[in-house]
Amino acid sequence: MKKARSILTCLFSLLALVAFGVTSQAAEKIKVVTTFYPMYEFSKAVVGAEGHVSLLIKAGNEPHDYEPSAKEMAKISQADVFVYNSNQLEKWAQKMDQVDHTKTKIVEAAQGIKLAKGAKNSEDAGELDPHVWLDPILAKQEVATIEKALAEKYPAKAATFKANQKWYDQKLNQLNHEYQQLRGAKQRAIITQHAAFGYLAKQYGLKQVAIAGLSPDQEPSPSRLASLKKYVKRQRIKLIYFEENANSKVAQTLATETGVRTAVLDPIEGIPQKKITQGATYLSIMEQNLTNLKKTIH
């Protein structure tokens, strides 16, 4: 009898330990740190309920000139996965020697995408353009790269990540389908505040004419502005696109001096917290960009 009780006690103890282990594993959420908003949304879509995704670059800030503080580098070091766009945009991400790569998986979402060079007539001709997330087809590639990296690190959760990726792919496919409307445009030129929309323009048969270069902080030369004024009048451009999150003074001045209207074309480099609170997402902003593009395409 005592022996039977002893065996039962051992069995109950073993079951309790197994149950505790399962509960502990279930409670352990994957910690993912991402750089700026599109990387956050893409990662969150794939991770789903399996982890916690956080944003490194605060809402309203853009990633071009960002440099992480020691505190933010510590946050990356404590993460299970770190996702950034590209070595061209977040150049500092190539120098993270203090991060233990065996603990923290580093994911360059744009890996495998051939980056295009900046426009010949821009201030940074020859530099590589990092704005791949603004093309829904290339955005799908970034999501797939994130999914693959997560599945490699957590093979037991691979099926969940794949299902989540397919769900988000459907949304990007729908977005791409809606953008196909631009292919029939008679007026293909779009005047943008900075050269962020090259991939999108190429994908849908448009021509990006940028006031500034690949970075929104770059100032166009006087000769560039004079050339743009002539171009706007010659091509009978009716709309100039500016960005809410960057200094739009030059774009607004060009519009005033040429007598044309303005509209927002958001590069989704940094969404203000107010917009995030109101429910703005990568997908909703891309939808709004399409609505605004239709105003000039005729």
- Confidence category of residue 267, pLDDT binned at 50, 70, 90: very high
Structural domains in the chain, sorted by start: 28-178 (3.40.50.1980), 183-293 (3.40.50.1980)
Give yes or no for residue 16 having a pLDDT over 60: no
pTM over 0.85: yes
- Confidence category of residue 184, pLDDT binned at 50, 70, 90: confident
Percent of the chain residues past pLDDT 90, beyond the cut: 70
What are the contacts of 227-234 at 24+ separation with CB within 8 A? 227/121, 228/191, 228/254, 229/254, 229/257, 229/258, 231/189, 232/191, 232/258, 232/260, 233/258
Separation CA 164–CA 176 (nearest Å):
19
**Residue 122: predicted pLDDT:** 55
**Residue 276: predicted pLDDT:** 87
Separation CA 281–CA 287 (nearest Å):
10
For the stretch 123-177, pLDDT in tens is 576 789 999 999 999 999 999 999 999 999 999 999 999 999 999 999 999 999 9
For the stretch 32-64, pLDDT in tens is 999 999 999 999 999 999 999 999 998 778 898
**Residue 18: predicted pLDDT:** 44
Give yes or no for residue 17 having a pLDDT over 80: no
Q: Mapping DSSP to helix (H, G, I), strand (E, B) and coil, where does residue 216 land? A: coil
Give yes or no for residue 211 having a pLDDT over 60: yes
**Residue 119: predicted pLDDT:** 63
Residues 6+ apart with CB under 8 A from 217: 64, 65, 246, 247
User: Which whole number is the average pLDDT over 180-199?
Assistant: 92
Q: What is the biggest distance separating any 2 CA atoms in the chain, rounded to whole angstroms?
A: 100
Percent of the chain residues past pLDDT 70, beyond the cut: 89
13-27, 102-116, 272-286, range with greatest mean pLDDT = 102-116
Question: How high does pLDDT run on average in the chain?
Answer: 88
Higher pLDDT, 273 or 162: 162
Separation CA 139–CA 247 (nearest Å):
26
Residues 6+ apart with CB under 8 A from 39: 83, 84, 85, 109, 133, 142
Residue 275 in tokens: 């917009």
Q: How far apart are the first and last CA of the chain?
A: 90
Give yes or no for residue 2 having a pLDDT over 70: no
**Residue 121: predicted pLDDT:** 52
Give yes or no for residue 244 having a pLDDT over 90: no
User: Which whole number is the average pLDDT over 281-296?
Assistant: 95
Give yes or no for residue 85 having a pLDDT over 80: yes
